[in-house]
Structure 1
Amino acid sequence: MLERLFAELGPWNWIVLGLVLMIFEVAAPGIFLLWFGIAALIVGAVAILFGEALGLGWQLQVILFLILSVISVLIGRRLIGATDVVSDEPLLNMRGEQLIGQVVTLEEATVNGRGRARIGDSLWRVTGPDLDAGTPVRITGIDHGTLVVEPV
């Protein structure tokens, strides 16, 4: 039964598969199914144009689809990877890195190298030398969400 199903695979099945994969790509974007859809469309076109001349049975069509899928994914990754845009605000979602260089006042004294500083309406954990509350400190780095500070 499965043998018969594969034997009846024709070029139009590949074209329908390619179009369905592209519709799924639109429904669930991620630029992944697009490349398989392109490969299926190419197999369909090759089967329509050269199927009889090349003797493309379903086995060769599946192998051609697999090969073209790998090739189209590799080409697609190269094309999409080449369009990486440099952001005008590279620290947009890195709040801690945005704070480096600022001078803030310690809210709680640093004891054993740990304390807290108020920045805006938030309290941040800080590490640095032992200092009294109210001491102005400069933020010199960030380590796993904890600000590294030094006295001004």
Structure 2
Amino acid sequence: MWDYLQHLSFWDWLAFGTLLLILEVFGAGGYLLWIGVAAASVGVLTFAFPDLHWTLQFILFAILSVLTAVLWWRRQRSAAKPSDQPGLNQRGQELYGRIFSLHEAIVSGRGKIKAGDTVWLVVGPDLPAGTAVRVVGQEGVLLKVEAAA
């Protein structure tokens, strides 16, 4: 084993990098991508400098693995920006604070409102049909309402 480590060639590093990149394709979530790039980079450096000692190759591999992962993480973090539509794909969020009339009375804490062409189940205090209610929250598919002042 030690003899093999002391005579690593650029082919070994390129094969290792290729193996890591292939494993990344199967769903590692980006973890193996930058380690594979680092291994391929060490392979290129070993090709350019064939007398590179094996311990230095491993040190370069470790440094490049951490460096590429950190640089990518920082780039991803700086590129992330808040959405201009924070409620997108969160049905019911756009109804918060709006006032509707009860489509069906709230009995035993449950009733219905009609918002546009959609009927929503609501929870709140018992109120008769036609009462104006304000949407104050959401529990899954149920809207929380209270009587509008």
Task: Flag whether TM exceeds 0.5 (same fold).
Answer: yes
1:132 alignment partner in structure 2: 128
Alignment of 1:100-111 (within 5 A): 100-111=96-107
Percent identity of paired positions between Structure 1 and Structure 2: 42
Alignment of 1:12-91 (within 5 A): 12-15=11-14, 17-18=16-17, 31-52=30-51, 54-56=52-54, 61=57, 64-91=60-87
In the TM superposition, residue 24 of structure 1 has moved relative to its aligned partner by 7.5
User: 1:38-96: CA deviations, max 9, x gaps?
Assistant: 211221133223441x4216xx6456535532332232112112110222211111121
The change in CA–CA distance for 1:6 and 1:121 in structure 2 (over 3 A counts) is farther
User: Number of residues paired by the alignment?
Assistant: 148
- Scaled by the length of structure 2, the TM-score of the pair is 0.73
Q: TM-score of the superposition, structure 1-length normalised?
A: 0.72
Calculate the aligned-residue CA RMSD, in Å.
3.1
Aligned counterparts of 1:29 and 1:20: Cα–Cα separation in 2: 12
Aligned twin of 1:144: 140
Aligned-partner residue type, residue 147 of structure 1 = L
AA matched with 1:135: T
Amino acid at match of 1:108: E
Specify the SS of the correspondent of 1:39: helix
* Gap runs ≥5 in structure 2: none
Distance 1:4 1:44 in 2: 18
Equivalent position of 1:99 in the other structure: 95
Q: Which runs of 5+ in 1 are unaligned?
A: none
What code does the residue aligned with 1:143 have?
E
Partner SS, residue 75 of structure 1: helix
